[in-house]
Amino acid sequence: MPRTIWSGAISFGLVTVPINVVSATENHSIQFHQYHLEDMGRVRYRKVCELEDREVAQSEIGKGYELTKERVIPITDEDLSNLPLPTAKAIEIVAFVPLESVDPIRIGEGYYLQPREQVAAKPYKLLVQALGRSSRVAVAKYAWSGRERLGLLRVRDDVLVLHSMRWPDEIRDPTELLPPPVELSDDEVQAALQLMDSLTVDELEGDEFQDRYTEAIAQIIEAKREDREPPEVPEPEQPAKLVDLMSALQESVSKARASRGEDAEVHELPKKPAKKQPAKKTAAEKTTARRPRSA
């Protein structure tokens, strides 16, 4: 298991659940360092005190708030651990809501909450089962890293998960990003739904959900280690020139079905009947129309 990030308790009314917080995710990306290209010497960042012009050790570094250019207020870890907040040492549940009522843009990193000590087993399981039966998630407050945060508690495989959440005022208003007004036909919307159906899966598994970028980087590293040429980059498929949105949608449906080994035939959606044009007048009718009235 990963190391404990934070230890405290979940506060659920008068019920207290001692827990340890551990990261729920792992980063499998290939990491690079910076090197001097001339001799491949490692390039590092050094922490230098601006007043003394010397490198300082980590043990000499602390936090501070710049009040003015001349005055800095030092803030210690002890100050942060003794904040005058009930959430400084506990994850305090403040409400329960349906999950669908929470905008996903507000949900951030996830953490597993591990029951700490035997005494936590029963209240931990109680909260897990209560959340499961209610079909709701808990909204909580907690204080980490010098600030109070909002969190979302849910159950995953009988384990409590805490997601950090953004406060409402941290979400930017997207109104200014709206495109100019346009008109869509029912046929175009129906074609988009047809494309969605062809791309619908039951679960996020399969080749489409593999990290191809990391695999490609690993192949380059292996080739260079063995002093051979890296694998050739396949030529990207050139998209067909499509004259309108409907054609693009129908072509996309066809390709999606073909990639899944399904019947690639796409039945064209019914088009709206063209407006009936008035019949052209015959030459005789035109002559009659031009004939002057008799006196």
Strands (E), 81-224: 91-97, 107-115, 137-144, 147-156, 159-165
Nearest to 269 by CA among 193, 185, 190: 190
Write out residues in the chain with pLDDT < 50, as ranges.
Answer: 269-276, 281-295
Q: Where are the alpha helices (DSSP H) in 165-244?
A: 186-198, 212-225
pLDDT at 196: 87
Distance (Å) of CA 38 to CA 44, 45, 221: 15, 18, 20
| Predicted local confidence at residue 159, as pLDDT | 95
The pLDDT score that the predictor gives to residue 293 is 42
pTM for the model stands at 0.68
Return the pLDDT at 96: 96
- Exposure string of 275-290, with b = 16+ CB inside 10 Å and e = fewer, is eeeeeeeeeeeeeeee
Spatial neighbors of 289 by CB under 8 A, at least 6 apart, are 281
Cβ atoms within 10 Å, residue 115: 21
CA distance 76 to 207: 49
The confidence score (pLDDT) of residue 242 equals: 53
Helix (H, G, I), strand (E, B) or coil at 19: strand
Phi, psi angles (nearest 5°) of residue 98:
-65, 140
The single-letter DSSP state of residue 239 is P
> In sequence order, what are the residues at sequence separation of 6 or more whose Cβ sits closer than 8 angstroms to the Cβ of residue 183?
none
